[in-house]
Structure 1
Amino acid sequence: MVVIMGARGPLAALLGANALSACGTAMTVLAVPWFVLQTTGSAARTGLVAGVEVFGAVVGALAAGPVVDRVGRRAASVASDLLAAAVVAAIPLLHGTSGLPFALLVPLAWALGLVAAPGATARRAMVPALTARAEVSTERASGAYEGVWRGARMLGGPLAGVLIALLGPPGVLLVDAATFLGSALLVRLFVPAVGGKAPGGYGHRLRGGLAYLRRDRALRWVVLLVSGTNLLDAAFFAVLLPVYAERVLGSSVALGAIAGVWAGGGLAGSLAYAWLGARLSRRWTLATAFLVSGAPRFALLAAAPPLPMALAALAVFGCAVGTINPVLGVVQFDRVPDDVRPVVGGVLQAGSQWPMPVGAVLAGFAVDGFGLVPTLLTASGVYLAITLWPALAKGWREMDEEPVGARH
């Protein structure tokens, strides 16, 4: 059963489901590393758990497109959220009953990444059809989708910091499980089925998505760029930032404040792009955002400024990063036909995320082996080198061109 709503109601419901999922995920991102750090004291083990979860997400994203095509976008979103709720809830329940050894936490982290990925792919694949039904521009819809996600993470980060202090990481994970259930309920009740089910087997659909990417240089370059930045972003958020909060700031609440300010800046950037994006060059918006939000963030933590100064700078960096995903979303919505959108979206997600487990694991070993500050400064230099590419290579102009007949 789907509750009948106005033309913009289904899109609003999808945005709400995305917000619930993002808020819960923000809490998990902080609670799990803090749990590992508190129980083991090891940055390497923290990086390993984070890396395994992202590896599961990469596998899930690669499989997600054909799976979403087979079962339908709405059904895949609901099933993914229900499975994610079960896996997340298993962590605190096992910890509080029979105990949760590190050897069991690792496969649970992998399973969480695996089952959550198809839901993200399915929800994003529904955006263009619901946008057309709501009669809004792709720039505004992409900005709103990303803005809602950023806003939810802005709330989820500080909430997680406070709840970790009050309830401990297991309590935060139970709240996270409830957010996945809420997301599943919103999609099931208020979002109509769109996109249908695609014919053909898994291999046939996956080959079709890969073939489309081979023909589109702009999307190939996006995957290469984002795979490099995601490696370093995973190192930053999964290992370097939690270690900085524990060893330099000594506070989970400060960690939550940093996450909230970062997401708040991202929300402002996403909303600004939703309002102004149609008038901006996609290439130069992307290039500027990466240069402002990337390398300076690592150098800032290496300098260890007072917390208020760090929060102010991170708010600016977050505002810049908030425009990145809306730009990439518009490029994908405009360039990828609807009949291959779930598969191409899954391949894009897997292709850009596969280095993230490597980044998290390497960061953990680097901190244990060389120290926090040398690791931060090295990452800053590598990030700068990677993100100069969109500004220097003329081929990135293709981002501002829409292939004829791409949007359906």
Structure 2
Amino acid sequence: MSESTPAEEARGTDSATRGGRPARPRGGRTGHTVRTERTDRVALSSLVAAHAISQTGNVVTAFAVPFYVLGLGGSGAEVGLAAAFATAPVIIGGPLGGVVVDRVGHRRAAIVADLVSGASVLAMPVLALTVGLPFWALLALVFVGGLLDSPGQTARRVMLPALTERAGVRIERSVGLLDGSERFAKLIGASIAGLLVAAVGPVASLFVNAATFAVSAALTGALVPASGPARTGSPNPRDDHPTDATDATEPTRASYRSDLVEGARFVVRDPLMRLIVALVLTTNLLDAARGSTLLPLYANDRLGGAAALGLLVATMGGCALAGNVAFGFVAHRVPRRLTFVACFTLAGGPSSLAFALGAPLPVLVAATALSGLAAGALNPILGTVQLERTPEHLRGRVFGLVTAGAWAGIPAGALLGGVAADTIGLTVAFGIVAVVYTTVTLAPLTGGHWRLMERRGPPGGRPPAPSL
């Protein structure tokens, strides 16, 4: 992404739920019940907080690396190449990491991912301040640091439904909280990163980044309950084992290849998953060209540097967080597909057009704010749809594969953005992004399998048959 069914929320026909939330047992509330509820909510809050802290570290990296490359006298193409090395690992870590997450345990996978990412980030400033950090070494460390990012995020997302159910929270609300934590991370991380890079330089700011991963790992280890991997081949797999231990000698355990093929088969055969991956792959390519390469170059060339970039990214993150919170109150009442189209179109087109037209900074901030408000609704919709349509025992693999597919265009987009800046110029490049982004995000209005986005069928079960 164990959750409540949105169709039951709308119709109110399930006696086991009240207003879309899991029903509490009838009768008096004992002290033990109150303590359990409090513990469950602390666990859910800790998972969301750990996700936010880890994502804050990623934002600092996204600021520090481009300005380090520019400080070495690098070109736009080299900035794009560094961004490509930061995102390419997701294509590898997504599908393979999803299988590992399902096997080794979600909590353990999240902790290890944070520790490895933190160690690779810490190596950058240590090398730069001692023996030196050449461009090739930077690329290698950025690649290693990103290799476990996707498995770590997948692990936290897969843990979300069970914690949500035990805490008595509507699944659409908790998915929105997790996405909101990412938006909050961009708001805080961009502000911190912009100030740090401007004040102490990109190298020193990476020490803060390494610390965020350590804090995230400690928070997950201390407050998020352990859970084991789903048992492949069991009739009713559940991720509620008391430890993260996995019995490697278990006779019913399938091979890694079989697990990966099973997840891939589900994604390929599900008509809505295919459409979602294709659409988000295209928009992510455009976002990578714009956000990872064109925007830092534009800020460095025309807006005065990292401080202006921090303002724009913080505006995007803050407004996306506000949009996310507001959407959480109406998510179960609005039509998903039409809301998705309207918000997706506004999230990319207007702000890119403003940069293409060379608008002054206040106009750029206003256009970015509009994009952020609209973007706040996108991931909650997509996350809830994926949770509803994916069987529980396949979620790690399916989410990893979907993430890898959606991110497949990001390395190319980051690199193409740098090449475009060096050849056709920033203005034309932003104009192309605006036109293509607006065109492709209108695709769900064509209907067909896109209608499957609306609420139907039990969560975590087999997807309903397509309605044409």
Short-chain TM bin: over 0.9
* Deviation for aligned residue 1:40: 2.4
Q: Does 1:325 align with 2:379?
A: yes
Q: Does 1:173 align with 2:227?
A: no
Measured in 1, the distance between the counterparts of 2:345 and 2:198 equals: 35
Match of 2:72, SS state, is helix
**Which residue pairs with 2:285 in the alignment?**
231
* Deviation for aligned residue 1:262: 0.4
Q: Could you list the per-position Cα deviations for residues 239-259 of structure 1 after superposition, in whole angstroms to 9, with x for gaps in the alignment?
A: 010011000102211110101
Q: Does 1:126 align with 2:159?
A: yes
Q: Could you list the per-position Cα deviations for residues 67-97 of structure 1 after superposition, in whole angstroms to 9, with x for gaps in the alignment?
A: 1112100000000000000000111111110
Measured in 1, the distance between the counterparts of 2:349 and 2:391 equals: 34
- What code does the residue aligned with 1:125 have? V
Measured in 2, the distance between the counterparts of 1:209 and 1:405 equals: 17
* 1:65-144 pair list within 5 angstroms: 65-144=98-177
Native 8 Å contact 1:129 1:195 kept in 2: no
* Deviation for aligned residue 1:404: 4.2
* Deviation for aligned residue 1:387: 0.9
Measured in 1, the distance between the counterparts of 2:408 and 2:78 equals: 19
Q: Does 1:378 align with 2:432?
A: yes
- What code does the residue aligned with 1:90 have? A
Inter-CA distance 309–6: structure 2 relative to 1 (3 Å threshold): same
Match of 1:238, SS state, is helix
**Identity percentage over the alignment?**
40
* Deviation for aligned residue 1:161: 0.5
Measured in 1, the distance between the counterparts of 2:366 and 2:271 equals: 37
Native 8 Å contact 1:232 1:383 kept in 2: yes
- What code does the residue aligned with 2:213 have? F
Q: Does 1:289 align with 2:336?
A: no
Native 8 Å contact 2:93 2:150 kept in 1: yes
Among 42, 54, 60, the alignment partner of 1:9 is 42
* 1:136-155 pair list within 5 angstroms: 136-155=169-188
Among 170, 189, 198, the alignment partner of 1:156 is 189
* Deviation for aligned residue 1:184: 0.4
Measured in 1, the distance between the counterparts of 2:434 and 2:394 equals: 37
Measured in 2, the distance between the counterparts of 1:99 and 1:257 equals: 31
**Which residue pairs with 2:27 in the alignment?**
none
Which structure has the highest helix share of the two?
Answer: 1
Native 8 Å contact 1:129 1:194 kept in 2: no
Measured in 2, the distance between the counterparts of 1:252 and 1:54 equals: 21
Measured in 2, the distance between the counterparts of 1:61 and 1:196 equals: 17
Measured in 1, the distance between the counterparts of 2:351 and 2:71 equals: 25
Match of 1:7, SS state, is helix
Measured in 2, the distance between the counterparts of 1:101 and 1:143 equals: 40
**Which residue pairs with 1:274 in the alignment?**
328
Q: Could you list the per-position Cα deviations for residues 271-330 of structure 1 after superposition, in whole angstroms to 9, with x for gaps in the alignment?
A: 112111010111112111111111222111112222122112211110101111111011
**Which residue pairs with 1:255 in the alignment?**
309
Native 8 Å contact 2:267 2:398 kept in 1: yes
**Which residue pairs with 1:58 in the alignment?**
91
- What code does the residue aligned with 1:359 have? G
Among 409, 425, 430, the alignment partner of 1:355 is 409
What is the TM-score with the length of structure 2 in the denominator?
A: 0.84
Native 8 Å contact 2:388 2:458 kept in 1: no
Q: Could you list the per-position Cα deviations for residues 206-245 of structure 1 after superposition, in whole angstroms to 9, with x for gaps in the alignment?
A: 1111121133211111111000000000111110100110
**Which residue pairs with 2:25 in the alignment?**
none
**Which residue pairs with 2:71 in the alignment?**
38
**Which residue pairs with 2:353 in the alignment?**
299
Measured in 2, the distance between the counterparts of 1:100 and 1:405 equals: 49
- What code does the residue aligned with 1:100 have? L
- What code does the residue aligned with 1:356 have? I
Among 205, 214, 219, the alignment partner of 2:259 is 205
Q: Could you list the per-position Cα deviations for residues 90-137 of structure 1 after superposition, in whole angstroms to 9, with x for gaps in the alignment?
A: 111111100011111111111111122211110111111111111111
**Which residue pairs with 2:268 in the alignment?**
214
Measured in 2, the distance between the counterparts of 1:115 and 1:194 equals: 19
Measured in 1, the distance between the counterparts of 2:384 and 2:221 equals: 26
Measured in 2, the distance between the counterparts of 1:332 and 1:402 equals: 12
- What code does the residue aligned with 1:259 have? V
Q: Does 1:29 align with 2:62?
A: yes
Any unmatched runs of 5+ in structure 1?
Answer: none
Native 8 Å contact 1:15 1:148 kept in 2: yes
Among 414, 421, 424, the alignment partner of 1:367 is 421
- What code does the residue aligned with 1:8 have? R
**Which residue pairs with 1:48 in the alignment?**
81
* Deviation for aligned residue 1:405: 6.0
* Deviation for aligned residue 1:195: 5.0
Measured in 1, the distance between the counterparts of 2:259 and 2:455 equals: 26
**Which residue pairs with 2:226 in the alignment?**
193
- What code does the residue aligned with 2:93 have? G
Measured in 1, the distance between the counterparts of 2:291 and 2:460 equals: 35
Native 8 Å contact 1:335 1:407 kept in 2: yes
Match of 1:294, SS state, is helix
Any unmatched runs of 5+ in structure 2?
Answer: 1-34, 232-252, 463-468
Measured in 2, the distance between the counterparts of 1:194 and 1:330 equals: 21
- What code does the residue aligned with 1:384 have? T
What is the TM-score with the length of structure 1 in the denominator?
A: 0.96
Native 8 Å contact 2:387 2:459 kept in 1: no
Measured in 1, the distance between the counterparts of 2:267 and 2:50 equals: 29
Measured in 2, the distance between the counterparts of 1:94 and 1:124 equals: 34
